Amino acid sequence: MTTSKIVLVTGAGSGLGRAITLALVAAGHHVVATGRRTAALADTAAATAWPGAVTALPVDVTDPESVDTLFGQITDRWGRLDVLVNNAGIFGPTLPVEEVSVADWRRVVDTNLTGAFLCAQAAFRLMKDQRPRGGRIINNGSISAHVPRPHTVAYAASKHAVTGLTKALALEGRAHDIAVGQIDIGNAATDLTAGIAAGALQADGTVAPEPTMSAADVARFVVQTVELPLSANVPFLTVMATGMPYLGRG
């Protein structure tokens, strides 16, 4: 029998975050669903069969004060956090490197990397002190944490950096029973990947459609990782649409 856990999912208002939230609730866990858009979080809660199993708390993961407020609310309400799913992320502009503005670069890096760091830092502080101590952090990487798409310099750089963040956190977490891993996802069908099925720019300059997979299938792997004992960890897991040109990219 699975023990219900308190799971924080960032970027839960749509896409993978919503799919992960729905799957976790269906598995019997309580989800703290966070994101910038209050209405979208309410829609996520309403989409579950058990809306009471979702607590929607808006947050801007790029803002340290907003993250601190979020974790203060979690501590006051439950006194602990079992799992953080660092899912919030944006793709940014698809442009040649010389055309990417510094503002767009910072927006992508602040969301995908700094946001993940701030939430992980706050989770470490709570997980080290709670009793029983420890917990799990799952970072949303990407196929782009391994190989970039053309004209996505900010996104690719941020996701490569998330891999370094995951490794550093996993190392530090050992002494505190905090297991840290990363799921690298390729072509899950969400708003972020809506154009890929119609045609995506390839490394040779051509545009070709790519297959996608259900976000719900990705969420199943997240649930399985959430339910592992802290004595076991999945440092890196790649889940992708079977026919996507990942192994041959470039």
d(CA 106, CA 7): 28
Q: Give me the torsion for CA of 211, 115, 48, 221, rounded to 10°.
A: 50
Q: Which helix (H) or strand (E) holds 170?
A: helix 153-173
> φ and ψ at 55, to 5 degrees?
-110, 115
Q: By the 8 A CB rule, do 210 and 200 touch?
A: yes
Catalytic residue among 120, 155, 182, 213: 155
Q: By the 8 A CB rule, do 46 and 40 touch?
A: no
d(CA 188, CA 191): 9
d(CA 176, CA 173): 5
Task: Strands of 65-134 (E only): list them.
Answer: 83-86
Query: Residue type for 126, please?
Result: L
- Please say if 246 is a catalytic residue: no
In sequence order, what are the residues at sequence separation of 6 or more whose Cβ sits closer than 8 angstroms to the Cβ of residue 30? 4, 5, 6, 7, 53, 54, 55
Give the catalytic positions in this structure: 155
